[in-house]
A and B are shown apart, each in its own frame.
Chain A
Amino acid sequence: MADTVPIYDPTKATVTPSPAALAPEATSGPTAPAVSAPGPLAQFPAPGEPLLTSDAEERVAVATQAQLMWRRFRKHRLAMIGAGAVIAFYLVVALADFLSYADPEASDAQRGLIAPQRVQFFLDGRFSPHVYAMVGERDPATFKRVYTEDPTQIIPLTFFAPGFDYKLFGVIPADMHLIGVEGVNPEETLFLMGTDLEGRDMWSRVMYATRTSLTIGLVAVVVSLVLGVILGGISGFYGGFADTVIQRTIEILRSVPTIPLWMGLAAAMPKTWTVTQVYFAITIIISLIGWTELARVVRGRFLSLREEDFVTAADLVGARQSRIIFVHMVPLFLSHIIAATTLALPAMIISETALSFLGLGLRPPAISWGVLLQQAQNVQTVALSPWLLLPALPVILVILAFNFLGDGLRDAADPYA
């Protein structure tokens, strides 16, 4: 195990003009040569004493950058948890219809505002998950809908059960769902997270909301990432006229207030588009503005790096500019890009949720976390049906997960840091 990673002095490892850096075919990336070079190691305070076991030294020495990153990343426990959570969330995105058991739009006033149902795991001492049928009516004195369990009607839970029709990944027609109930319609019997005012199943709605909320930011982030790196790179690498033009454009774009822009765009979209399409389009437009911050950072790194000796060296030995940029320079601030991306994603998710909550983003019939929370934004929910606020939980979880993941990735992407 490379427990000894911190022995590398970052400043020395990268800044020291390594003779190996002059060799254009250095193993992998500009920093790697420092590892195999004997020079820096010789500078450690106690020369002669082996600081590394030869085994570990060997492993670090021959590891590719990806391997180094992975080792480093694995040590970051929160990041590992975050990565697991993010993967789990994106599994929900891919399998939302499989994981839900009720049509998220199927409504019935007669089952409005049911609290989350208790699941019984044992029946007569045997493991046999089941729920009881719910019987409900409106209390004439309190005007609340009151539901009681009917223990005589046992509804066994089944797995991989047939349910409503859907298309897996948007193409494969299917009707199998992770959870189901035997013999009856799950929409009328199973309420794992309760129901909303219209009697729609919250569990299934949260599944679909996860899909919408987590997908919608992805494209936007990719677009701003590509734009940011390319335009920031041009600006910083070439400088001069290109730099002036790009920087002034960035300043103008950054002065545009987003919320009024958002509102204006929402009104200007073609009427025949669905709410999701409209939102998607707006997100892309916003990302056309959102690349500016990343571009500034990239430009700054380029400005400082292009003066470095190894860049000059690469230039001198005749490397193409694209090679200098992508092989020698970009890996140096890869950690920054990764951090920016993993932080931009939750920012997009939060902004979707916030704008929908304010009624500016997605609107029903679209289902997203923000839409679900927007509909829970009233006194009676807090007082009578607090389970409608549950969609706030995945929002918090996924934002935390992304931030931990981003933190770990940033550390790992710079394994010598």
Chain B
Amino acid sequence: MTRPETRQEVRLMRNAAARRVSRRGLMKGAAAVGLTLPAADVSFLGAGTVGAAQDAPLGSALIGELEGPIVLVDAPRPATLRQAPMLDALVADGALPPVEERVPLEPLVVQPLEGIGAYGGTLRRAFTGPGDDENGNRWVSGDKLVFWDYTGTEFRPALAKSWEFSDEDRVFTIHLREGHKWSDGAPFTADDFVFWYEDIYTNPDLVPTPQSSFAINGKQGRIEKVDETTVRFVFEDPYPLFLTILGGTTFMGSGHMTNRGFHGGAYAPAHYLKQFHPKYTAQADVDTLATEANVEDWIALFRLKNQWSLNPDLPILGPWRSVEPVNTPNWVLERNPFYYEVDPEGNQLPYIDRIQMGLAENLEVLNLRAIAGEYDLQERHTDIAKLPVFLENQEQGDYSVRLDPGAYGSDATLQVNHSYDADPEVAKWLQNADFRRALSMGIDRDQLNETFWLGVGSPGSVAPDPSVPQSPGEEWRTKWSTLDVEQANRLLDEIGLTEKDDEGYRQRGDGGGRLRLEIFAISGAFVPFPRIAQSIAQQWQEIGIQLDVAELERNLGMTRMRNNEHQLFMWANDGSELIYAFPRHALPVDPAEAMMGPLIARWYVTGGEEGAAPKEEAMLEAMDLYTSAGNQNAEESNTTAQEIWKIIVDNVFSIGTVGVSPAVMGIRIVKNTMGNIPARQVNMQHARTPQSSHPATFFFRTGG
């Protein structure tokens, strides 16, 4: 029996059939995300979902209508304010001021999804250890300066009640809320911004490299205080994109609680942090504190003290604060009695008193507990492969399953290291567009989708979902990204990889034997990277490419990636649906995580002083376009983003597989006792899902 050809053909036919059945409907469902940055048409969102339901596609029953709480912009403070019963005693004792003094004069009024909730209860969920602080960060992202509505498309006020550009977009002014207080009761004012700018951001010990998100055309911006509640961000050149930057998960815009020890966020609790800063406290005293805290020096001390997840004493502005830190078996959060959000009836949010995250170092254990109904709300680390088991146990576990498809292109992207230099022969091929195109066409994405995404995902390139305003269009999802072994082999032959060994693998051009590529695949991630990579290695046999899969633990893999040791790195390209706010998975411009070329990212942020320039013209072109978008408003910048995506996809800078799926943080297990939970929420990095659903409005129907 001669096998490869016939098997190939059979598979193609089957895949085509499977696509017809399973994918079409879901794509429509995903289209309902409706990411239109300048103006979102909410009615369209509903219509899209209904259309999907009529088709009865795979997963449609579990993908509900996109919905969420509504921020009532400019709503006045309700006449009477109420607080959670757990605070009554504290107020009576005088340990806390009355609620009228704790809530700002102009609070953020949020209309909850279903209605006014009941106070109380402890929400149980799971995290996987200190490295999983993002698990909590996303729930407390209410401390961002500006945020989005529940569709993730329109800006909404958050800490800043309003903002405006002036001086031809060179000055961005934000207005804070009168009477806004930190979680310890100290006032939150413009001085906290000045402190952050003068004593943290511009202190090279704390922030060693100036951040590109706070610069336009390579020129750094600065922060000025106008009055107690007015702050100006001043740039030398027009920077209209800065609003999008603040809305995204960026160094400037992530908020104080998501600074993760890098001190981002544009403000910090000056009154608290000054005691750890040698400018305000004698160096000797700070050193003593550092010794007492068992850390190396004041810099490490400051980093420790400025992380809410590790330091329960740190004043914060989010809805919950740590009472048990993240490095304990139970990460416990408790309400911030000074939180600035209220519902229309004047109830101070959040409704839920406590969030208790139990440590589950093993993902199987975590999922098993979720199946047993031990968590109230878990959307992180839930495994799409277990979806049938989740569904089977819905009644027994008293929960329901909801799917939130993401909007980015690929959950398991083969990120190509464009600055790889350890093996010049391999580097040469990795920097060859035709080579990458051939690799991409050698992947049978329908097979991967059916096996690892249960057919729910969308096979394609790295380009985001066509409904996203920055998407270059449907055809760019499939460009160079459908199985075509014949053309792939032809491309590889044409570029000179014609020599094969007796097992059919192509040989290196320098006579060094078989051409072997290596991919780093992190185990224990949201999707089974090593197993997917193994399948791709199997598929690449047909194009004569040997792929070795190096299965690595996350920290080791990330360290080796930063050291420029990887050839290919498998990772989701999440966040790339809003490319300027989170560009790291689309272009190598962010040294914090530059799988596509650590040296190139270094070169980019240092203006060419360090690192290595990209070798390909097209890469330079894409990066130039990316840079130029800083001077553009949202609409223009979206057009530019489409051009960038076309270059990325046409040159296959990285290889997409299957995406626009709920596999990453989109399998939501919701206890039936919970209220104000949307049937479907956006699943986007910049919307800090679930912050886009305002977890402060979630509550227990039974009172917990």
Interface residues of A (CB under 8 A from B): 103, 105-110, 112, 137-138, 140-144, 162-165, 175, 185, 188, 197-199, 271-272, 359, 363-365, 375, 377-380, 383-384
**Per a CB cutoff under 8 Å, which of A144, A188, A271, A375 touches B518?**
A271
Q: Are A109 and B446 in contact (CB under 8 A)?
A: yes
Chain A residues with Cβ below 8 Å from B530 are: 364
Q: Name the one of A110, A138, A162, A379 contacting B364, with C-beta atoms under 8 angstroms.
A: A379
Chain B residue numbers with a CB within 8 Å of A377 are 364
- In whole angstroms, what is the CA distance A307 to B523 when docked? 59
Q: Is the CB of A363 within 8 A of B551?
A: yes
Q: Name the one of A175, A363, A384 contacting B1, with C-beta atoms under 8 angstroms.
A: A175
Residues of B within 8 A of A188 (CB): 10
Q: Which of B454, B456, B518, B535 contacts A198 (CB 8 A)?
A: B535
Would you give the shortest CB distance from A392 to chain B, in whole angstroms?
17
Q: Is the CB of B534 within 8 A of A365?
A: yes
B7, chain A: closest CB distance, angstroms: 7
Beta-carbon contact of A164 and B1 below 8 Å: yes
B513 in contact (CB, < 8 A): yes
A384 pairs with B388, CB closer than 8 A: yes
CB of B161 within 8 Å of the partner chain: no
Closest to B447 in A: A109
Q: Which chain B residue shows the least CB distance to A363?
A: B551
Q: How far apart sit A384 and B454, CA to CA, in the bound complex (Å)?
A: 14
Asked if B57 is at the interface of the complex by the 8 Å CB criterion, the answer is yes
Using known A-B contacts A138-B58, A140-B61, A185-B1, determine if residue A109 contacts B450 with beta carbons closer than 8 Å: yes
How distant is the Cα of A351 from the Cα of B32 in the complex, in angstroms?
52
Known A-B contacts A271-B518, A272-B513; the reply to A378 vs B385 at CB < 8 A is yes
The answer to whether A365 and B537 touch across the interface, beta carbons within 8 angstroms, is yes
Contacts from B to A (Cβ < 8 Å): 1, 3, 6-7, 10-11, 14, 18, 21-22, 56-61, 364, 367-368, 371, 383, 385-389, 391-392, 446-451, 454-456, 513-514, 516, 518, 523, 530-531, 534-535, 537-538, 548-549, 551
In the complex, A106 Cα to B7 Cα: how many Å? 9
| Contact present for A379 and B367 (CB under 8 Å) | yes
A380 and B451 contact, CB distance less than 8 A: no
- Distance (whole angstroms) from the CB of B9 to the closest CB of chain A: 12
16 A-B residue pairs with Cβ-Cβ distance under 8 Å, sorted by A, are A105-B538, A107-B538, A109-B447, A109-B451, A110-B450, A138-B454, A140-B56, A140-B60, A141-B391, A143-B59, A143-B387, A188-B10, A271-B548, A359-B523, A379-B389, A383-B388
Which residues of chain B have C-beta atoms less than 8 A from A137's C-beta? 21
Contact residues in B for A142 (Cβ distance below 8 Å): 388, 391-392
Going nearest first, the 8 A-B pairs with the smallest beta carbon separation are A109-B450, A109-B451, A109-B447, A144-B388, A383-B389, A143-B388, A143-B387, A110-B14
A397 to B523, CA, bound (A): 32
What residues of B have a CB within 8 angstroms of the CB of A164 in the complex?
A: 1, 3
Instruction: Give Cα A140 to B548, complex, Å.
Output: 35
Which residue, of B364, B383, B450, B531, has the highest number of chain A Cβ atoms within 10 A?
B450
Q: How far is the CB of A182 from chain B (nearest CB, A)?
A: 13
Smallest CB separation, B488 vs chain A (Å): 19
Which residues does chain A contribute within 8 Å of B6, judged by CB atoms? 185
- Measured between beta carbons, the chain A residues less than 8 angstroms from B548 are 271
- Pairwise interchain contact B451-A112, C-beta atoms closer than 8 A: yes
Do A379 and B451 touch across chains, with their CB atoms under 8 A apart?
no
Contact B451 A138 (CB under 8 A): no
Known contacts A163-B1, A185-B1, A359-B551, A107 near B535 by CB under 8 Å: yes
**Complex CA distance for A198 and B385, rounded to whole angstroms:** 12
Given A109-B448, A164-B1, A384-B389, 19 more A-B residue pairs with CB atoms under 8 Å apart are A105-B538, A108-B10, A110-B14, A140-B56, A140-B57, A140-B59, A143-B59, A143-B454, A162-B1, A165-B1, A198-B451, A198-B535, A272-B516, A364-B531, A379-B364, A379-B368, A380-B383, A383-B392, A384-B388
CA of A138 to CA of B385, assembled, Å:
13
Q: Most B CB atoms within 10 A — which of A143, A185, A359?
A: A143
Residues of B within 8 A of A110 (CB): 14, 18, 450
Using A141-B61, A380-B388 as known contacts, say yes or no to A103 and B3 having CB atoms under 8 A apart: yes
- Cβ–Cβ < 8 Å partners of A141 in chain B: 61, 391
Most buried by A among B389, B518, B549: B389
Q: How far is the CA of A110 from the CA of B6 in the complex (A)?
A: 16
Query: How far does the Cβ of A376 sit from chain B's closest Cβ, in whole Å?
Result: 12
Chain A residues whose C-beta falls within 8 Å of the C-beta of B14 in the assembled complex = 108, 110
Q: Measured between alpha carbons, how far is A103 from B541 in the docked complex, in Å?
A: 14
* Bound CA span A128–B224, Å: 89
- Most chain B CB within 10 A, of A105, A110, A137, is at A110
Report B-chain residues with C-beta under 8 Å of the C-beta of A108.
7, 10-11, 14, 447
- Cα(A383)–Cα(B523), bound, Å: 22
Q: How far is the CA of A188 from the CA of B3 in the complex (A)?
A: 12
Q: How far is the CB of B236 from chain A (nearest CB, A)?
A: 49
User: In the complex, are the beta carbons of A199 and B551 less than 8 A apart?
Assistant: no
**Would A365 and B538 count as touching, CB distance under 8 A?**
yes
Please name all residues of chain B whose beta carbon is closer than 8 Å to the beta carbon of A162 when the two chains form the complex. Answer: 1
A379 with B3: CB separation less than 8 A: no
A272 to B515, CA, bound (A): 10
Least Cβ–Cβ distance between A63 and chain B, in angstroms: 54
Determine the residue in chain A with the shortest Cβ distance to B61: A141
- B residues within 8 A CB of A144? 388
Residue among B392, B451, B534, B549 making CB contact with A199, cutoff 8 Å: B451
**Complex Cα spacing A197 to B450, Å:** 10
Most buried by B among A138, A375, A377, A379: A379
Question: Which B residue's beta carbon lies closest to that of A138?
Answer: B455
Question: Which residues from A are CB-within-8-Å of B537?
Answer: 365
Which interface residue of A165, A197, A364 has the most chain B CB atoms within 10 A?
A364
Given the complex, which residues of A lie within 8 Å of B60, measured CB to CB? 140
Q: Is the CB of A271 within 8 A of B451?
A: no
Q: Which residue of A lies closest to B386 (CB)?
A: A380
The answer to whether A140 and B58 touch (CB under 8 A), given A110-B18, A199-B451, A378-B364, is yes
Residues of B within 8 A of A384 (CB): 388-389
B108 CB to nearest A CB, Å: 39
Given the complex, which residues of A lie within 8 Å of B61, measured CB to CB?
140-141
Instruction: List residues of chain A with CB within 8 A of the CB of B551.
Output: 359, 363
Task: Name B539's closest neighbour in chain A (CB-CB).
Answer: A107
- A143: B residues at CB distance < 8 A: 58-59, 387-388, 391, 454, 456
Closest chain A CB from B401 CB (angstroms): 10
In the assembled complex, the Cα of A107 lies from the Cα of B539 at a distance in Å of 10
Chain A residues near B456: list those with CB within 8 A. 143
Q: Are B516 and A380 in contact (CB under 8 A)?
A: no
How distant is the Cα of A380 from the Cα of B386 in the complex, in angstroms? 6
Considering only CB atoms, which chain A residue lies closest to B553 in the complex? A359
Task: Report the Cα distance A245→B105, complex, angstroms.
Answer: 84
Q: A112 contacts which of B364, B386, B450, B513 (Cβ < 8 Å)?
A: B450
Instruction: Decide: A107 and B523 in contact? CB cutoff 8 A.
Output: no
B18: A residues at CB distance < 8 A: 109-110
Contact of A271 among B1, B385, B389, B516 (CB under 8 A): B516
Cβ A197 vs Cβ B392 within 8 A: no
User: Distance (Å) between the CB of A100 and the closest chain B CB?
Assistant: 14
Q: How far is the CA of A176 from the CA of B160 in the complex (A)?
A: 75
Of B7, B14, B56, B451, chain A has the most CB atoms within 10 Å of the CB of B451
The distance in angstroms between the C-alpha atoms of A199 and B1, with both chains bound, is 20
Complex contacts, A272 vs chain B, CB 8 Å: 513-514, 516
Chain A nearest Cβ from B496, distance in angstroms? 22
Closest to B518 in A: A271
Bound Cα distance from A272 to B530, whole angstroms: 19
**B465 nearest CB across to chain A (Å):** 21
Q: What residues of chain A lie closer than 8 Å to B392, measured between beta carbons?
A: 142, 383
When chains A and B are docked, how far (Å) is the Cα of A175 from the Cα of B1? 8
- Give the residues in chain B near A138, CB-CB below 8 Å: 22, 58, 450, 454-455
B-chain residues with CB within 8 Å of residue A103 when the two chains form the complex: 3
Output the nearest chain A residue to B367 by Cβ-Cβ distance.
A379
Which residue in chain A gives the minimum CB-CB distance to B387?
A: A143
- Which residues of B are found within 8 Å of A383, using beta-carbon distances? 388-389, 392
In whole angstroms, how far apart are the Cα atoms of A271 and B567 in the complex? 14
